[in-house]
């Protein structure tokens, strides 16, 4: 189920009318008279793919200013609407934005879970020892196989419902047509046909710091142009940039963001690996596993009670933590991701460095692995199986 299907099936409290700008006739009507288009006597007007007609934003602003009742408009788009022309100037302060990510693993399991599901982010500060108590022992080989299958499937609704054999054609179509369309909706770039190649280069670098100069050299375009293209990929929900974190711990902190593909199924397809080939010596299992963890955390952030922010950390002296959660009250949780099924004390080197530097601000250090059991590694440090992200 995608955003259009979701918008169509929501339980609206009153009357509703749905206008889809993918329909050329509807789009022409919106462009001809934006004000008349939005002045309808219904409880909620749903405008799907609203970014296709930017002139609607000012007309909607005028309607909202005339009648402030909440819920009069539901706007959907295939890209971040705040990136669309006139959106930022017209509707800031008048809208609430909800980002619709691919399915989270806790949504796909279908097993009973808290509401909302997947509370790892909150548990890390509310009851971290409860994570150890809730851990269950399972076979290491079956856990690894399960995680690999989940990585290669990803969370796109159309892919999840398909058999493995039918997923590759969907990804191929999405890359060759859907990506170009999503980018052209938010930009007027001249070489949109190059975007799929850039996306493949991004997939090969997922979970790495973004070095635009190096990427531009391989892509064959100026750094400024590639930087703009990356921003468009982010606006179209294809990649996500995890910012670098600093709390004056080191004067040599690396400031570059970490590049993450938004969906690991798409990333695996673009680098040419599947469930069988990913579980081999030279396959990018580690990078895709870290991307998988990062994207699951990003999804959980949207329903977390505490609403921390997600970062990564590295300095030039070698101190590094894959992912850092900074909570509004100042507490910090560090998360390392390792493909190993045998966690060792040395895997906590970065987390211990972070704990020493932060003192009382350090909330917890978590190592997520393909080991099947939970293992404490000292005060406020533990290794957990990666399925802790989606099970109760």
Residues 76 and 155 in one domain: no
pLDDT at 41 over 70: yes
Q: Which residues contact 224 (CB under 8 A, 6 or more apart)?
A: none
- Under 8 Å between Cβ of 382 and 374: yes
- Which strand (E) or helix (H) includes residue 26? helix 24-32
In angstroms, rounded to a whole number, what is the distance separating the alpha carbons of residues 50 and 78?
A: 9
Give yes or no for residue 391 having a pLDDT over 90: no
Q: Is residue 254 part of a domain?
A: yes
Same-domain status, 286 and 206: yes
pLDDT at 83 exceeding the cut of 70: no
Inter-residue contact 154 to 273 (CB < 8 Å)? no
Residues 68 and 157 in one domain: no
Split into its structural domains, the chain has a count of 2
| SS3 category, 256 | coil
Do residue 44 and residue 191 come from a single domain?
A: no
Same domain, yes or no: 199 and 310: yes
Judged by average pLDDT, the poorest of 96-110, 214-228, 328-342, 346-360 is: 96-110
pLDDT band at 84; cut points 50, 70, 90: low
Average pLDDT of the chain to the nearest whole number: 88
Q: 253 with 317: CB under 8 angstroms? A: no
Considering the domain architecture, whether residues 146 and 112 belong to the same structural domain is answered as: yes
- Residue 148 sits in the same domain as residue 180: yes
Same domain, 50 and 129: no
Nearest to 90 by CA among 61, 54, 50, 48: 61
183-232: pLDDT as tens digits: 766 666 667 778 889 999 999 999 999 999 999 999 888 999 899 889 88
**56, 91, 126 — which closes off a domain?**
91
Beta bridge pairs of residue 335: 323, 366
Within-domain flag for 96? no
Task: Please give the pLDDT value at position 140.
Answer: 79
Phi, psi of 331 (to 5 degrees): -70, 150
Considering the domain architecture, whether residues 85 and 133 belong to the same structural domain is answered as no
What span, in angstroms and rounded, lies between the C-alpha atoms of 301 and 390? 13
In a domain, 250, yes or no: yes
The answer to whether residue 99 sits within a structural domain is no
64-73, 113-122, 265-274, 312-321: which is most confident:
265-274
User: Residue 235 corresponds to which tokens in the numbers above?
Assistant: 């606006």
Tell me whether residue 224 is in a domain: yes
pLDDT at residue number 114 = 42
* Pair 252, 171 in one domain: yes
Last residue of a domain, one of 37, 64, 91: 91
The answer to whether position 175 is within a domain reads: yes
The secondary structure of residue 192, as a DSSP letter, is G
Please write the tens of the pLDDT for every residue from 45-57. Answer: 999 988 888 899 9
Residues 147 and 61 in one domain: no
User: Residue 176 has what DSSP assignment?
Assistant: I
Structural domain including 27 reads 3-91
Pick the last residue of a domain from 91, 116, 132. 91
Structural domain includes residue 100? no
Q: Where are the alpha helices (DSSP H) in 174-263?
A: 179-186, 195-204, 212-219, 223-235
- Tens digits of residue pLDDT in 237-292: 899 999 999 876 665 677 899 999 999 999 999 999 999 999 888 899 999 999 99
C-alpha distances (whole Å) from 31 to each of 20, 39, 52, 184, 389 are: 13, 14, 10, 18, 45
What pLDDT band is residue 112 in, cutting at 50, 70 and 90? very low
């Amino acid at each position: 189920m995608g955003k259009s299907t979701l918008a169509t099936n929501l339980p609206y409290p009153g009357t509703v009318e749905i206008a889809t700008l993918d329909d050329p006739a509807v789009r022409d009507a919106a462009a001809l008279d934006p004000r008349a288009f939005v002045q309808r006597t219904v409880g909620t007007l749903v405008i799907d793919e609203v970014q296709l007609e930017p002139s609607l934003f000012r007309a909607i602003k005028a309607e909202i200013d005339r009648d402030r009742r909440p819920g009069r408009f539901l706007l959907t788009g295939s890209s971040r609407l705040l990136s669309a022309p006139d959106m930022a100037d017209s509707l800031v302060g008048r809208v609430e934005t909800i980002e619709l990510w691919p399915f989270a693993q806790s949504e796909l399991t279908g097993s009973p879970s808290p509401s909302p599901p997947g509370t790892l982010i909150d548990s890390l500060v509310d009851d971290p020892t409860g994570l150890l108590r809730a851990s269950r022992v399972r076979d290491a080989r079956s856990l690894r196989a399960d995680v690999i299958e989940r990585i290669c499937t990803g969370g796109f609704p159309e892919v999840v419902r398909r058999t493995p054999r039918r997923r590759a054609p969907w990804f191929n179509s999405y890359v060759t047509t859907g990506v170009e369309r999503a980018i052209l909706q938010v930009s007027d770039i001249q070489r949109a046909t190059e975007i799929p190649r850039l996306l493949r280069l991004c997939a090969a670098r997922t979970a790495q710091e973004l070095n635009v100069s190096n990427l531009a050299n391989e892509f064959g375009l100026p750094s400024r142009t590639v930087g703009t293209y990356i921003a468009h990929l982010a606006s179209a929900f294809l990649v996500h940039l995890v910012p670098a974190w600093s709390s004056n711990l080191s004067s040599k902190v690396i400031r570059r963001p970490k590049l993450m593909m938004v969906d690991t199924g798409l990333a695996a397809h673009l680098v040419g690996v599947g469930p069988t080939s990913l579980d081999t010596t030279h396959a990018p299992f580690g990078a895709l596993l870290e991307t998988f963890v990062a994207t699951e955390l990003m999804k959980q952030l949207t329903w977390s009670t505490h609403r921390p922010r997600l970062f990564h950390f590295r300095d030039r002296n070698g101190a590094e933590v894959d992912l850092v959660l900074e909570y509004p009250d100042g507490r910090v949780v560090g998360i390392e991701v390792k493909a190993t099924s045998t966690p060792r004390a040395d895997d906590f080197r970065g987390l211990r460095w972070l704990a020493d530097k932060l003192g009382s601000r350090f909330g917890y250090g978590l190592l997520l692995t393909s080991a099947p059991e939970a293992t404490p590694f000292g005060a406020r440090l533990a290794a957990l199986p990666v399925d802790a992200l989606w099970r109760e």
